Structure 1
Amino acid sequence: MENKRVMLAVVLSLAVLLGWNFLFPTPKTPPKPQEHSQADTPAPAPTPQTKAPVESLPGFTPTTGRLVTVKTPLFTAVLNSAGGVLDSFSLKDYRQTISPDSPLVNLTSEQARQKAPLGLLLNGQPTWQAAQWTMEGGDLDLAPGQSGALTFVGMLGDVRIERTVTFQADSYLFGEALALTNASGAPVSLKVAHTVAVEKLSEASESYNVTKVAYYGDSGLSEITDAKDLEKGVAEDKGITWAGVESNYFLVATLPQAPGYLAKAKLEGGVYRVALEKDAVPVPAGSRVEMPVSYYFGPKELAYLAKAPGHLTASVNYGWFDFIAKPLLIMLDFLHGFVGNYGVAIILLTIIIKILFWPLTHKSYKSMDQMRKLQPHMAQIREKYKDDRQKMNEEMMRLYKTYKVNPAGGCLPMVVQIPVFIGLYQALLNAIELRHAPFITHVPFTDIIWLADLSVKDPFYVTPIIMGATMFLQQKMTPAPGDPTQAKIMLALPVVFTFMFLNFPSGLVVYWLVNNVLSIAQQWHLIRKKA
């Protein structure tokens, strides 16, 4: 049947889209890969910053480096007084596994510390090693609504460095007021770079959740996952508003508060390192230059990202149908607010979508049934004009016109729904809301953990196997295509989809399973109504 060919094309296209995400989870948006050295790095025109003559400098007495702790309701940060380098950054609301005594997610590690997260480079020199440091302030314990600051003061030659880092109790965004003072009698030109560094933010087994470098500039959001490109180093200087390292769920980023910065990234020894660099910053003799910058260390939750400048919300990206995925996720959160279980919320959202598309789907099934009735006539035409393709097509069109049947009528309503299906698919695949969110925590009447985390695969593969079975049943209820090859391909699709979904997050599988069950119910209703 002609519409079956269109249907087959649609289904195979959908399978390719899903399979591509399975095999190649995050498409790379190519930056301009390039090596940058002090000699060949383009020097963006420095933006005039606050400069003031300094009549006299306060005394400076270096001290031995020590650790200082910042506690807020959202995180615990530990910094080293020798340069303000980050020692650890633990998120209080996120654990590494679903176990209640699992370690908190720490966005810094021993290996990453060697690359100096929150490090400051002056003319390529690591200030945390090359300068002498002291610190103003001590441990902070911030209650909701409070803020607090730490000031790290250093001397590197004749340049005095002041890094005042301000934390907010209710935000993962924190700011740094950097001040550079030239204590010499001659002007200096400085290359200034702010760095962040982090190990992988996802497990190697999570093929759909990869760690990548990301930045936002004049061309929008760019994401780089290719290890070979990152090991060579990449750079971009076109309108950078933020740059960092991300996974589906977490983001470590630095945000300049002025234009003209170069974003550089490199993968070294398993550590992703990103730097925001500004070259040729003039500091007149006896003057001071201020260069504010911000950082974000936290989950990719829109409520927190929206508080940050520089289009940081763009880091939450659901692909081609992002504009559909985000409203669906808002609806999912709304439903979760009522039922308190994301698994149940997914089921309810799937039902709502199915109800909204019920007329279109119903029209599709009716059109397919009309085409099924014409199958004998179509077979006769094919046999009669098998040697005259043009005449065969003319007779087919005359047949459709006589019986007022649109051969693509069974597929077009489904094509309209595909953006919604893919949008919800991307949202469920990437949403941090589903991370460690339970559905059916234990196998009924046992203490065996089952669907306790909707962001990971079903440990016993129960839901993907049932999903494949419902897809097979759905195929059997649909009139078979006249072409035997097409029929075999259609029957093979449930096996292909089952294989792909075995390692997908269980939340996504639940959505697809429920959608199949509802489609079967709708087809059965149509068949019964005809009988």
Structure 2
Amino acid sequence: MEKRTILAFALSFLVLILWSFLFNPSKDQVSKKGETPETVAPRTVSQSPETASAPHAALSKAPEKTKFKLAPETDEKEVVVDTPLYRAVFTNAGPTIKSFKLKEYRESVEPDSPLIELINLQQDKADFLIISFDGASASQLEKTIYQVEHQKIRLESDSSPKNLVFHSSTSGGISISQTYRFYPDQYRIDLHIDVINQSGEIVTGAFVADIKALPPEGKQSYYSYVGIVLLLDDKLEEVKIKKASEPKDLAGRIGWMAYEDDFFISAVIPDEPSKASFKGRLLPSGILEGTYMPPSISLHPSERVSSGYTLYLGPRELGILKQLGKNLERAISFGWTDIIAKPLLYLLRFFNQYINNYGVSIILLTILIKILFWPLTNKSYKSMKEMQKLQPRMAKIREKYKNNKAQLNKEMMGLYKTYKVNPMGGCLPMIIQLPVFFALFRILGSAIELRQAPFMLWIKDLSAPDRLFNFPFSIPFMEPPYGIPVLTLLMGASMFLQQKMTPTPGDPMQAKIMMFLPLIFTFMFINFPSGLVLYWFVNNILSIGQQYRIHRS
């Protein structure tokens, strides 16, 4: 009975892994783009109290309305924006961002590894982001060729913010200016769009934002969602689409729209969140598309309307997102363990401030958790020891009443009562610890803080599986890169030693299962992040020490 504690824990862990594998969004489950009238001085649109709550609500109900198309004006040009944090390439066709490379993050730990590129679309197939003023989806617009003066903008660490201005006039007499503002020490980009109706007619349209991304091929993450997300009615909404023929339509108060993976996020955040509609699509090419569209407005001749946004393209780091002040930190979700996981993540960050080694920080966090649960686990091990003393008596009762289950249970309960032993005493403390373990499972597999964070010796990336040497051949059950999983093998050995110190169950079937658990866990952990393996290994060592102390006493 006492061994069922560990068995229950192991089975719970297996359920977690299977649940993550089966119910995590697969590759196709995440979401899938006359004569010019005389110009007069523009007058700014004013909103009535009824429409003030919706920044882009209709401004006029005049019966005569026309929709416009955007027409090309000049040749396509590229503008390079170089800051200490990123190198971005803008194009005046759209305008849009063609490339966005993060200077502080590389694809691997190798020093000559390419910088992380957040935009992985072929420009002849799709545009990453288009925000403009029109009555249709941004993906249906005739792409505007804007006028732009700059060819390159460079910001040093001590530079003041700099602006990049795109300007265009449509064939329908609509003047559109887009002003991007860059900061030397931030991933945020401010965008201000100014629209003036220079025609002689009323036009109608909306400020539409369209984002596209191509999810990585292969299986999705065990640890976090990959796809388009929204802050909808103050709740995190993961836009999951199973088929290209099944678009997803949503409506409500939209705080922001973003595409995220395990470690990075690209977000569009309106300055004034309002009630709006959203359409998510999975295109035949496998590209995810999300379109944000607030209510349409009517623009009278000479009227002006503006809209502002904050763009964020960078790491999913809790501290940075929280500092942004746009509720974008809500994108980092650890599911039902969130209430436990985020405090643990803050503790990891706190330790690392003083130690500057996330591997050591994980060890300290493991020790702290062990200290907090020491009284409970102590009680658990003592209960298991008491149960071990009763094994001979329990074996005799099982043999005597093996054909009478009712009497067997009655005699067992009488034995527990006589010796004041709770058969579940070893289980409860372990069950209480399960949420903490699951929270750490989510943190150590998806926290940007551990990405390419070195520990010591051969472990150079705590977010990747540990491998000593690189073999040119494949190894069964192992994902590339192929090598010797030293830390995982040590973890399996520590689990085997802990198993030997634990009382043997009276049930032969349970004994066989428990005998194979260290081997099963070793194969399970072989492709897990080394940070998670390190936590489990240190926890095993501490548990062995605790059990040894109890046995000696």
Q: What's the TM-score bracket when you normalise by the shorter of the two chains?
A: 0.7 to 0.9
Instruction: Give the distance between the partners of 1:46 and 1:415, measured in 2 at CA.
Output: 49
- 2:488 aligned with 1:489: no
- 2:15 aligned with 1:16: yes
Q: Aligned pair in 2 of structure 1 residues 432, 203: CA closer, same or farther (>3 Å)? A: farther
- In structure 2, what residue type is equivalent to 1:342? Y
- 2:382 aligned with 1:382: no
The corresponding residue for 1:477 is 501
Tell me by how many angstroms 1:207 deviates. 4.3
Q: Aligned pair in 2 of structure 1 residues 303, 518: CA closer, same or farther (>3 Å)? A: same
What is the correspondence of 1:271-310 to structure 2 with a 5 Å cutoff?
Answer: 271-310=287-326
Instruction: Give the distance between the partners of 1:96 and 1:159, measured in 2 at CA.
Output: 43
CA contact (8 A) 2:57 2:297 kept: no
Coordinate RMSD, CA, aligned: 3.1
Selected match of 1:359 from 364, 372, 375: 375
Instruction: Give the distance between the partners of 1:469 and 1:27, measured in 2 at CA.
Output: 34
What is the correspondence of 1:309-458 to structure 2 with a 5 Å cutoff?
Answer: 309-441=325-457, 450-458=458-466
Tell me by how many angstroms 1:337 deviates. 2.5
- In structure 1, what residue type is equivalent to 2:313? F
The corresponding residue for 2:67 is none
What is the DSSP-based 3-state SS (H/G/I as helix, E as strand, rest coil) of the residue aligned with 1:239? strand
- In structure 1, what residue type is equivalent to 2:183? Q
Tell me by how many angstroms 1:86 deviates. 0.7
The corresponding residue for 1:96 is 107
Q: Aligned pair in 2 of structure 1 residues 525, 489: CA closer, same or farther (>3 Å)? A: same
What is the DSSP-based 3-state SS (H/G/I as helix, E as strand, rest coil) of the residue aligned with 1:176? strand
The corresponding residue for 2:135 is 123
Tell me by how many angstroms 1:61 deviates. 11
CA contact (8 A) 2:274 2:294 kept: no
Instruction: Give the distance between the partners of 2:542 and 2:259, measured in 1 at CA.
Output: 40
CA contact (8 A) 1:70 1:141 kept: yes
- In structure 2, what residue type is equivalent to 1:152? F
Instruction: Give the distance between the partners of 2:307 and 2:181, measured in 1 at CA.
Output: 14
CA contact (8 A) 1:254 1:276 kept: no
Q: Aligned pair in 2 of structure 1 residues 259, 136: CA closer, same or farther (>3 Å)? A: farther
What is the DSSP-based 3-state SS (H/G/I as helix, E as strand, rest coil) of the residue aligned with 1:343? helix
Instruction: Give the distance between the partners of 2:318 and 2:217, measured in 1 at CA.
Output: 23
What is the DSSP-based 3-state SS (H/G/I as helix, E as strand, rest coil) of the residue aligned with 1:261? strand
CA contact (8 A) 2:121 2:127 kept: no
C-alpha deviations, 1:61-92, integer Å up to 9, x for none? 94433111222221122111233211211111
Tell me by how many angstroms 1:277 deviates. 1.6
Percent identity, aligned pairs only? 42
Tell me by how many angstroms 1:480 deviates. 1.4
Selected match of 1:241 from 246, 252, 255: 255
- 2:96 aligned with 1:85: yes
C-alpha deviations, 1:310-347, integer Å up to 9, x for none? 42101111222112112212222222223322222212
CA contact (8 A) 2:276 2:293 kept: yes
Q: Aligned pair in 2 of structure 1 residues 50, 398: CA closer, same or farther (>3 Å)? A: closer
Instruction: Give the distance between the partners of 2:197 and 2:411, measured in 1 at CA.
Output: 88
Q: Aligned pair in 2 of structure 1 residues 311, 61: CA closer, same or farther (>3 Å)? A: closer
C-alpha deviations, 1:255-298, integer Å up to 9, x for none? 12331222333333243332212242222232122122221111
Instruction: Give the distance between the partners of 1:357 and 1:178, measured in 2 at CA.
Output: 55
Tell me by how many angstroms 1:495 deviates. 2.2
- In structure 1, what residue type is equivalent to 2:527? N
Instruction: Give the distance between the partners of 1:410 and 1:51, measured in 2 at CA.
Output: 65
Of 294-303 and 148-157, the range deviating more from structure 2: 148-157
- In structure 2, what residue type is equivalent to 1:455? S
Of 186-195 and 497-506, the range deviating more from structure 2: 186-195
The corresponding residue for 1:147 is 161
The corresponding residue for 2:198 is 183
Of 100-109 and 208-217, the range deviating more from structure 2: 208-217
The corresponding residue for 1:523 is 547
Instruction: Give the distance between the partners of 1:13 and 1:74, measured in 2 at CA.
Output: 42
Report the TM-score when normalising by structure 1: 0.86
- In structure 2, what residue type is equivalent to 1:90? K
Tell me by how many angstroms 1:231 deviates. 6.7
**Consecutive unaligned residues in structure 2, runs of 5 or more:** 34-50, 61-70, 468-483
Tell me by how many angstroms 1:409 deviates. 0.8
The corresponding residue for 1:255 is 269
- In structure 2, what residue type is equivalent to 1:327? P
Tell me by how many angstroms 1:378 deviates. 2.1
Q: Aligned pair in 2 of structure 1 residues 130, 77: CA closer, same or farther (>3 Å)? A: closer
Instruction: Give the distance between the partners of 2:88 and 2:408, measured in 1 at CA.
Output: 74
CA contact (8 A) 1:82 1:128 kept: no
Instruction: Give the distance between the partners of 1:135 and 1:126, measured in 2 at CA.
Output: 22
Tell me by how many angstroms 1:455 deviates. 1.0
Instruction: Give the distance between the partners of 2:124 and 2:452, measured in 1 at CA.
Output: 27
- 2:84 aligned with 1:73: yes
**Consecutive unaligned residues in structure 1, runs of 5 or more:** 36-43, 54-59, 442-449
The corresponding residue for 1:514 is 538
Q: Aligned pair in 2 of structure 1 residues 50, 143: CA closer, same or farther (>3 Å)? A: farther
What is the correspondence of 1:138-177 to structure 2 with a 5 Å cutoff?
Answer: 139-144=152-157, 146-156=160-170, 157-177=172-192
- In structure 1, what residue type is equivalent to 2:176? I
- Equivalent pairs counted in the alignment come to 502
Of 314-323 and 385-394, the range deviating more from structure 2: 385-394
What is the DSSP-based 3-state SS (H/G/I as helix, E as strand, rest coil) of the residue aligned with 1:21? helix
